[in-house]
Amino acid sequence: MKRLEKVKGTRDLLPEEMAKRRWVFERIREVFERYNFHEVLTPTFEYTELFKLRSGEEVVEQLYAFDDKGGRNLSLRPDMTSSVARLYVNSFQNAPKPVKWYYIANMFRYEEPQSGRFREFWQAGVELIGSDKVEADAEVIALFVESYLATGLEDFTVNIGDRVLLDEFAKMLGVEDDIGLMRLIDKKDKMSREDFVGALREFGLSDGGVEKVLALVGIKGLPDEVLPKAEELFTSDEAKAEIKRLYELVDLLDAYGVSKWIRIDLGIARGFDYYTSLVFEAIAPNDLGIGSIGGGGRYDNLIEVFGGKPTPATGFAIGIERLIPILEWKGLIPEPKLRPEVYVVPIGKEGEVRKAAVEVVSALREAGVRGDIELTGRKVGKALDYADRLKVPYVVLIGKRDLAEGKVTIRDMETGEQKTVEKESAVEEILRLLGL
């Protein structure tokens, strides 16, 4: 019979990998909830129309889109922002504002797999719906920073850009296809300078226009160095108001205590067309070929696109598939402890011995000890070999003769020493040995 392989772009996550993943999820979840965000989970698939409304017909090429048995055209979710916005429009438009939701879930995109990118992947993110104030942007970006810090990662920056300023820049260049220009700028870090210049010329920019784009994407660094340059470059009232907002944002992020990780990069566009103002992404230097490890921004028009009342919103998503390899590379994820702390072995097939073994392992588990029990009928020698391979620190041996006296034997697998204790005090003794 033909052996079936896993689907391209997917992975089988084994116990050790899942333990590391769970550790990362727990660190991030703890910070999300400390900021008073509450968890939601939407369906894995939505009507394809939801994603077309957000990004247009061309988005279908990146979706796992299909017709179900009822003839409905559905797609596996490529992100959660659209689904969360749909949920808000469906049921929460009259809820007290702001609505603060978070999620940790799997997404699907039909893209060519590469380093840190799979066709099924996980994201952890938040959406803050109902506030257009810079305070909301600061809250979300501060949470973004602290989420990475919670995993032990410190060598990273959060680069902040602004779509309003990019729109103004496109007007200054006389470019009608501002979205096309933004998409091109968004890909700049994936191209050589020569290829980027060539793409700009192919887009239709003159040599002067190309030079201006290169100057713009070069405006990045610490806020107090970059924002004065932005003031010189942009002169419209709308741009001035947006730069003022950036100054206010920087001040608030300083109050949050996260300014160490903040940079301004006016060349950031982010890939999604629905962003309307501030955009940001996190970059952690690495030798793994991994770029952005997460990002987000403000999207004040999306709720209305999905049929809701005009409602401002902002949020971010952390790319788990990109974050975990970097954390492993830096040695920041603790080694998972998958072994049991105690292994209980009944010696013999007598019913009272097997029953006593179950009682002991159950009492250990109830006391908070990770306990396992021999389930395959191994004889004591083979059972001890198995425990040794697993590096189990302690084994409880339960034989008919000891049990007749109400006792069991505890074996220290490191030293080989054994001691006989009362069956009723076995749990207490194990807790003492484990230092619990």
Specify whether the CB–CB gap between 162 and 277 falls below 8 A.
yes
Across the beta sheet with 120-129, the strand order is 38-39, 99-108, 120-129, 313-319, 292-298, 278-283, 157-162, 262-265, 220-221
Q: What is the pLDDT of residue 203?
A: 73
Answer yes or no: is 336 within a domain. Answer: no
Q: Are residues 144 and 236 in the same domain?
A: yes
Specify whether the CB–CB gap between 27 and 150 falls below 8 A.
yes
Token pair for 122: 């996980």
Specify whether the CB–CB gap between 275 and 163 falls below 8 A.
yes
Answer yes or no: is 2 within a domain. Answer: no
pLDDT in tens, 241-261: 999 999 999 999 999 999 999
Answer yes or no: is 10 within a domain. Answer: no
pTM, rounded to two decimals: 0.90
Answer yes or no: is 335 within a domain. Answer: no
Q: Are residues 116 and 195 in the same domain?
A: yes
DSSP state of 52: H
Number of domains in the chain: 2
Give the pLDDT band (50/70/90) at residue 271. Answer: low
Of 307, 329, 351, which residue sits at a domain end? 329
Q: Are residues 276 and 379 in the same domain?
A: no
**First-to-last C-alpha distance (Å) of the chain:** 51
Q: Are residues 187 and 293 in the same domain?
A: yes
Coil/strand/helix, residue 321: helix
Q: What CATH number does the domain containing 250 carry?
A: 3.30.930.10
pLDDT in tens, 155-186: 999 999 998 988 888 787 777 666 677 777 77
Q: Are residues 279 and 384 in the same domain?
A: no
Token pair for 102: 């978070």
- Please give the full DSSP string across 269-282, using - where no structure is assigned: --S-TT--SEEEEE
Q: If you average pLDDT over residues 327-353, what whole number do you get?
A: 94
* Strand (E) or helix (H) holding 120: strand 120-129
Give dist(CA 353, CA 402) in Å, integer: 10
Answer yes or no: is 410 within a domain. Answer: yes
Q: Are residues 221 and 284 in the same domain?
A: yes
Q: Are residues 410 and 265 in the same domain?
A: no
pLDDT in tens, 91-127: 999 999 999 999 999 999 998 877 667 999 999 999 9
Q: Which domain holds residue 371?
A: 342-434
Answer yes or no: is 4 within a domain. Answer: no
Count how many Cα atoms sit within 13 Å of the Cα of residue 7 in the half-sphere of its side chain. 8
Q: Are residues 267 and 140 in the same domain?
A: yes
Answer yes or no: is 5 within a domain. Answer: no
Q: Is 80 exposed, middle or buried (0-12, 13-18, 19+ CB in 10 A)?
A: buried
Give the pLDDT band (50/70/90) at residue 272. Answer: low
Q: Are residues 288 and 314 in the same domain?
A: yes
Residues 6+ apart with CB under 8 A from 131: 97, 98, 312, 314
Q: Are residues 310 and 370 in the same domain?
A: no
Answer yes or no: is 225 within a domain. Answer: yes
Q: Are residues 325 and 346 in the same domain?
A: no
Of 297, 329, 361, which residue sits at a domain end? 329
Of 329, 364, 385, which residue sits at a domain end? 329
Q: What CATH number does the domain containing 413 carry?
A: 3.40.50.800
Q: Are residues 148 and 124 in the same domain?
A: yes
Give the pLDDT band (50/70/90) at residue 44. Answer: very high
